[in-house]
Amino acid sequence: MALDVAAGRAGRPAAARRPRVGVVKLASCDGCQLTILDLEDHLLDLTERFEFVEFAEATSRRSSGPFDILFVEGSISTPEQAAEIVRLRAAATTLVAIGACATAGGIQALRTAAEHEAFRSAVYPVPAYVESLATATPISAHVTVDAELRGCPIDPGQLLELLTAVTTGRRPQLPDQAVCVECKRRGIPCVIVARDLPCLGPVTRTGCGAICPSFGRGCYGCFGPREGANVEELAGDLRSRGGRTDAEVGRLFAGFTGATPEFRGVTDRLGGRPLLPLAPATAHVAGEHDTTPPAWRPDDARQ
Amino acid sequence: MHGSDLRFQVHNLTRVEGEGSLHLLVRDGAVAEARLEIFEAPRYFEALVVGRSPDEVLDIVARICGICPVAYQMSAVHAFEDLFGVEVEPATHALRRLLYCGEWIESHALHIYLLHAPDFLGYPSAVDMARDHRELVAGGLRLKQAGNRIVATLGGRAIHPVSVRVGGWSKLPRRADLLALRPALEEALELARATVHTVAELPAPPFEREPRLVALHHPQEYPMNRGRIASSDGLALAPQAWGEAFHEVQVPWSNALQSRGADGLPYLLGPAARVVLDHEQLHPLAREALAETGALESIRRNPYRSIVARAVELVHATAEALDIIAAYEPPDAPAVAWESRAGTAAWATEAPRGLLFHRYAVGDDGLVAAATIVPPTAQNQAAIEADVATFAPRVLDQPMDVATHTLEQLIRSYDPCISCATHFLDLSVERQPQEDAS
């Protein structure tokens, strides 16, 4: 991972203007940008150190750039977003993709072109009113990404580490170890060995602090596959233990980072892909030309 | 005849969760169109949960919203447990209320202090507001943090907690874990009581109307996870039966399905509806705070007063959280055993923004075959449009920036969560007088 902000700005005097920071979202749940607002103890200090020039969820002041640092949450899921990310990239010195949607496509990336029409018709009675791309894709599929914070959601500690690294002009320390290493460090008994629970910890990058094993369940892969993860061996092991079906093991990999090549490979082989056909949408349809605003009472005529 | 058309286009509404715009067409001084355009990209959750087991669904639907993931887990888990005939431990019922209290505190404090109060005090953001009112904003952040700490203690992290399972929990908190929350919650309770008085003093534009209010109602508890679906006009439906009185509607201008009553009319969900319909079930401290403001009637009639309802619920949630912690005795096992059963699982709970209905068809294989998820903001869209249409004519003689701000503030008073509804709100204004062709 390259972090250009450190290299690119090393020569700048420390007392110069505050870095201009943008926070934008694409297709996502808002949880990763909310993690910034959840840094309650640090938030007001951070706003003195960084100038948040664009953060629609938090401020009515808007900016289309330029940004020294731009945090992008969400995947690319519509034609507008595919165009917008190119513009945003050009406006940003350092672009940081935050969260599973931005770095891996998110849960919505489980749909492929094969499922797209069925998905649309299952939710919307008139799919033509709604625009979306056949697939949802991570930011890196469209533009160069300078740094990534993984997770669903991102980890507040990793976010602070990245911001600190940017401020002091060094590379952020974001370890690429398995969740297993974190369990060992914290003394959490292995949930695969001790309780025969399905767990993606051996192939998933740590960052969360092994939350799921510490809460008595298996890891479900929020931070995505770590480098060189042996997913096939784990998938085989999970199948042979506990009498799980292929599809059950496949579905375990079809989570919030399930569109990564490593995890998708397992699901494609074992099953667990979205099931077709889907029941059609049940919502009513408003008349296309019915643009009269709703009224609280039927006799509230406004003309 | 000749008239003039005024088009307001409020692009990219800010300080809301998600992406949306407001489109308003005023013809001869009357509102001809009022459309809340939600262009948050669709993510197709109702299709994504098909083929999944109930516990997998709890993890997936949380991702509909980073602000209220607990709400999605609560509606789903109660729907499945209702279908499977699961009776959870009383302690699990109490802990789920505690988890919901945490989410209400986090979500309401976020909205009051970071998103909504700046409107009333004339700042573009809480950060700007903090330059003049640092203690106020810092207190709001500590309140929010107290809520987040509850969720993280019970679920491992503040956003997308991991421990809610069908039948109970993957792991129970120890008494000591909960007792550790007390100092922060005791401070939060005092902050919440002060918040009620602060926001009750904020000047609200004098807009009044008679909305139809809908919320869960339970005789013994302020509504969260159980109760009947009640309304200001006498509805009393089982929580599985949302579809008997309401239906979803797709409109061409929104990526979020709207909802209407059986009569086709809008209805309003959320803190104002709950406080009005359920104020007798509020915690005594919250009831007292509400009584001191004398604001109950204005909360019902004036949408800008929803901030007072939200603050009253902050008192309720912090006070009840402390009560639950004081009474907590861990049950023997984190979860009770359960068996799947084919059929329709349906339930409604009270998300921070209002009633959240889920319905799942569960097959013989124990997997979901179809799903309907009806978020509160999606249901509130028609109410927002009705209010904008009602109030817009009264601000049209004001300068465009003032009119726009007043309407944007109106929309923010619903705390719209567009990521839930699909998710977006954007506000820019275009004034376009033109000759009417007719």
Contact B67 A34 (CB under 8 A): yes
Split at pLDDT 50, 70, 90, the class of A6 is very low
A55 and A130 share one domain: yes
Cβ–Cβ gap A29/B171 under 8 Å: no
Q: Given a cut of 80, is residue B419 above it in pLDDT?
A: no
The predicted-structure confidence for B325-346, as pLDDT tens digits, reads as follows 999 999 999 999 999 999 999 9
Cis upstream peptide for B416 (omega within 30°): no
In a domain, A284, yes or no: no
Does one domain contain both B176 and B318? yes
Give the least confident one: A248-262, B287-301, B384-398: B384-398
Residue of A nearest to B148 (CA): A38
Domain of A264 in residue numbering reads as 179-270
Q: Are residues B13 and B108 in the same domain?
A: no
Give the lowest-confidence range in B157-166, B273-282, B407-416: B407-416
pLDDT in tens, B191-202: 999 999 999 999
With 50 as the cut, is the pLDDT of residue A7 above it?
A: no
Contact between residue B115 and residue B154 where contact means Cβ atoms under 8 Å apart: no
Q: Are residues A198 and A99 in the same domain?
A: no
Query: Residue B282 is which amino acid?
Result: L
A293, B33: Cβ pair inside 8 Å?
yes
pLDDT in tens, B114-167: 989 988 998 988 888 999 999 999 999 999 999 999 999 999 999 999 999 999
Q: What is the pLDDT of residue A8?
A: 38
More confident residue, B422 or B286: B286
Provide the number of structural domains found in chain B. 2
Phi, psi of B9 (to 5 degrees): -130, 105
Q: Does A111 touch chain B (CB under 8 A)?
A: yes
Q: Could you tell me if residue B432 is inside a domain?
A: no
Residue A33 is part of a domain; what is its CATH number?
A: 3.40.50.700
Task: Measure B236 CA to nearest chain A CA, in Å.
Answer: 20
Token readout for B286 is 């919250």
pLDDT of residue A284: 85
User: How far B422 CA sits from the closest chain A CA (Å)?
Assistant: 9
**Mean pLDDT rounded to a whole number for chain A:** 89
Our CA angle for A207, B97, B105, nearest 5°, is: 65
One domain, residues B107 and B131: yes
pLDDT score at B418: 66
Residue A291 lies in a domain: no
- The verdict on residue A290 lying in a domain is no
* Residues A153 and A188 grouped into a single domain: no
> Mean pLDDT over residues B373-389, rounded?
91
Same domain, B204 and B339: yes
Q: How many CB pairs under 8 A join A and B?
A: 266
Q: Are residues A30 and A92 both part of a single domain? A: yes
> B60: which chain A residues are within 8 Å (Cβ-Cβ)?
107
Q: Say whether both B232 and B165 belong to one domain.
A: yes
Q: Report the number of distinct structural domains present in chain A.
A: 2
Residues A8 and A100 in one domain: yes
Whether the Cβ atoms of residue B293 and residue B197 lie closer than 8 Å to each other: yes
Does any domain span residue A55? yes
Which of B43, B125, B266 comes nearest A108 by C-beta? B43
Contact A44 B110 (CB under 8 A): no
B30 and B152 together in one domain? no
For the entire predicted model, the pTM comes to 0.93
- B365 and B392, same structural domain? no
B70 domain-assigned: yes
Lowest mean pLDDT among A173-177, B205-209, B285-289, B399-403: B399-403
Q: Is residue B293 part of a domain?
A: yes
**Residue B436 within a domain:** no
| Two tokens, residue A94 | 């350092």
Beta-carbon separation of A293 and B31 below 8 A:
yes
Question: Quick one: B418 and B347 in the same domain?
Answer: no
Q: Are residues B82 and B70 in the same domain?
A: yes
Say yes or no: B98 and B185 in one domain.
yes
Is A271 within 8 Å of B367 (Cβ atoms)? no
Instruction: Tell me which residue of A158, A140, A146, A78 sits closest to A103, measured CA to CA.
Output: A140
B254 and B323 belong to one structural domain? yes
- On whether residue B431 sits in a domain, the answer given is no
B43 with A77: Cβ contact below 8 A: yes
Q: Determine, yes or no, domain membership for A32.
A: yes
Q: Which of A120-124, A146-150, B334-338 has the lowest mean pLDDT?
A: A120-124
**Locus of tokens 């399930």:** A258
Same domain, A212 and A63: no
Q: Tell me, yes or no, whether A57 and A26 share the same domain.
A: yes
Residues A239, A130 share a domain: no
Q: Using 50, 70 and 90 to split pLDDT, how confident is the model at B318?
A: very high
* pLDDT for residue B18: 66
Residue A115 lies inside a defined structural domain of this protein: yes
Residue A49 shares a structural domain with residue A126: yes
State which residues form the domain around B207.
Answer: 45-211+217-379
Of the candidates A127, A144, A168, which is a domain's last residue? Answer: A168
In a domain, B54, yes or no: yes
Question: pLDDT grade, residue A288 (50/70/90)?
Answer: low
- CATH number for the domain harbouring residue B205: 1.10.645.10
- Beta-carbon-side half-sphere exposure of residue B248 (alpha carbons within 13 Å): 24
Q: What is the pLDDT of residues A179-195, one digit of tens each?
A: 999 999 999 999 999 99
Spatial contact of A92 and A65, defined as CB atoms under 8 Å apart = yes
